[in-house]
Amino acid sequence: MSLPTIEGMAPLLQVFDMPASLAFYRDILGFERVDDSGAGDASDWVWLQLQGVHLMLNTAYEADARPTAPDAARIAAHRDTGLFFNCRDVDAAYAYLLSKGLRPEPPQIQSYGMKQLYLTDPDGYVLCFQCPA
C-alpha cells in the first residue's frame, strides 16, 4: 500500500497583523484570496493562491487578546521558516519588488548553483525567489 497522490500543499503562517500581511502577500506579491474566516481583511484566517502556490495565514492572537506589539522572541523564531518559490526570472522579480517599494538585496548566485533573491515578510518569515543559475 502506498500514500495516495498528494495534490498540493498549503503552509500556514501565524501572523501578527492580518491587514499588513495581506498588504504584502496580496497587494505586493499578487496572491489572490481563495477563502477566509468571514471578516475580509480583518479575518483571523485567510487562504491565498498565486499561480498554483497556496498559502494560509492565521492570526497569532484572537482580536480581543492581541497585544499592542508583536512578541520579539516569537518574531525572531520566524527566521527559521523559509518559503522558497521557483521563479524563472529572479532578476525580473527583483525589479518588480523594487518597483513596489521594497528594498531586498540584489539576487546572488550561490555555490550550489542557485540564483536566489531573499526578503522577509512583515512578520519576519524568509521568502526566497530562486532558479538554477
pLDDT digits (tens, 9 = 90+) for 38-52: 999 999 999 999 999
Are 28 and 102 in contact by the 8 Å Cβ rule? The answer is: yes
Q: pLDDT tens, 105-130?
A: 999 999 999 999 999 999 999 999 99
Q: Against a cut of 0.85, is the pTM above it? A: yes
Which domains, and CATH codes, for the chain?
12-132 (3.10.180.10)
Residues counted in the chain: 133
CB 18 within 8 A of CB 59: yes
Phi, psi for 18 (deg, rounded to 5): -60, -45
